[in-house]
Amino acid sequence: MLDHVLSFLKEQLNSYIRVKTGGQAFEVLFLQDRNGKEVSLEENAITTLLVNLEEDYTFRSGAAYERMPNQGGNQQNNPNLYLNLYVLYAANFTNYRQSLKFLSLIIKYFQSHRLFDCRNSPTLSSEIQKLTIELVNLPFTEQREVWSGLGMSYMPSVIYKVRMVVFADGDTVEIGSDVTEKEVSSSRI
């Protein structure tokens, strides 16, 4: 499901950038490969990186399992898992002004497209109910930690929080029916 979310956002940004730049060959890419510990970003492109996952406990049930009525019995389901994704868009262009131009296009796009659902985005995977996009403001120290973790020097970039990717447990386990009558048996020894 994570791949669907990131691919969808990449395709949306690429379509927007093509329209705004008159079809220039620049596009949003995924990280191509990792050489050991180092991350290298494609030149003259915008690279998308998933830099963090966070569970959102706001909607999570406190129970280890949810009981779902099932024709007189019960099924045991794991509660849904609600995740927020932190996605970094890094503009790596040889011309610094070009980096800023494309970074501005990303910011403009997400400023005007903060919510994606099946009504306004027919290409969104049916597994995904909706996505909400929020700009993340990192203090300088945290920003430095992100780039140090990537093993790179800072370059023009922006991080967005993508809320709520919901993982639902589709596998259920039959646990029997509720007790409806009390039966007493007596036996003599």
For the chain, list the domains and their CATH numbers.
Answer: 2-60+80-169 (3.30.2000)
Q: How far is the C-alpha of 13 from the C-alpha of 29, rounded, in Å?
A: 10
- Across-strand partners of 28? 46
Beta strands in the chain (DSSP E): 28-30, 34-35, 38-39, 45-55, 66-70, 73-77, 81-92, 115-117, 130-136, 157-167, 173-177
- Give pLDDT, residue 146: 93
- Give pLDDT, residue 74: 58
Given a contact cutoff of 8 angstroms between Cβ atoms, the answer to whether 101 and 169 are in contact is no
Per-residue pLDDT of the chain (189 residues; tens, 9 = 90+): 888 899 999 999 999 999 998 877 667 877 766 665 667 788 888 999 999 999 887 766 665 555 555 555 556 667 778 889 999 999 999 999 999 999 999 999 999 999 998 899 988 888 888 899 999 999 999 999 999 988 888 999 999 999 977 777 655 444 445 445 555 555 555
Tokens for 7, please give them. 């691919």
Task: Quote the DSSP letter at residue 39.
Answer: E
- Give pLDDT, residue 67: 57
Specify the pairing of strand 45-55 against strand 28-30.
Answer: parallel
What's the distance, Cα to Cα, between the start and end of the chain in Å?
61
Tokens for 3, please give them. 């791949």
- Give pLDDT, residue 173: 47
- Give pLDDT, residue 41: 84
Q: How far is the C-alpha of 106 from the C-alpha of 10, rounded, in Å?
A: 10
